[in-house]
Amino acid sequence: MSPAPTTASSAERRLFEGDTGSFELPLRQLLVRLLRGPYLDGTAEPRLWQLLLDRRRDVGAYVAELFLLLELDIERKIALLVPVDIEAPHTTAIAPRKPLRREETLLALRLRLLLDRHAGTGTDAVVSRAAAREILEEHRPPGTADDKRLEEQTDSALARLLTLKLILPTELSDEYRVSGALALALPFDAIEEIPAYIAAIERSAAEPTLDLDADTETEDLP
């Protein structure tokens, strides 16, 4: 039997030898961008954001094949992929992120509160290195007074959140803008839950404490 003839549309979409994909180049680029993560900022990448809105159903169906859910914050123009929790082999995230450590978690949670306070004001939530240090100093375990260690933890926590793009650089070297993606990365049902979560972390000596690829509730916390 001779092979089925190649249609003009499928031939046009063929990007490399052996390409059997059905999506056009822009949509494939969007999928790669989402899978690469950590999130898509529609304000910074408006073309991809509009394409995502136009093809939301196709994107959602594709990533579901990989045990991922597409989450959108339309108001903040943020999109990210969230792994689903299925008790079956080979269903974990393709590239799971390392959970946040204690100080990183505390700083992220406090910045999540700051982000919520700025919602609807038209102003960006920002944090300086000095403010981040003060936050971590407030949450130091009792009896801890190692200032050198505090400085190292501050720089480490800021660097990790920068890597995850949960905070973004500004024109000032020691000031950072809190990304709207933090609201999706820490999806509490109510902002009022966060202080209690912070208090639970302070009572717990377990590390790491928060996995951004999982639910905000963890077994490590009381």
Share of the chain above pLDDT 70, in %: 80
Percent of the chain with pLDDT over 90: 45
Confidence of residue 42 (pLDDT cuts 50, 70, 90): very high
Domains annotated on the chain, with CATH: 8-83 (no CATH), 102-203 (1.10.10)
Q: How far, in Å, are 106, 147, 151, 181 from residue 174 at the CA level?
A: 19, 19, 13, 20
Average pLDDT over residues 82-86: 86
Q: What is the pTM of this model?
A: 0.70
Whether the pLDDT of residue 212 is over 70: the answer is no
User: Any bridge partners for residue 46, and if so which?
Assistant: none
- pLDDT per position as a tens digit, 145-168: 778 999 999 999 999 999 999 999
Q: What does the pLDDT average to over 48-76?
A: 94
**What is the rounded CA–CA span in Å between residue 64 and residue 34?**
13
Least confident of 90-104, 129-143, 207-221: 207-221
Task: Tell me which of 181 and 198 has the higher pLDDT.
Answer: 181
b/e map 166-180, b = 16+ CB within 10 Å: bbbeeeeeeebebbb
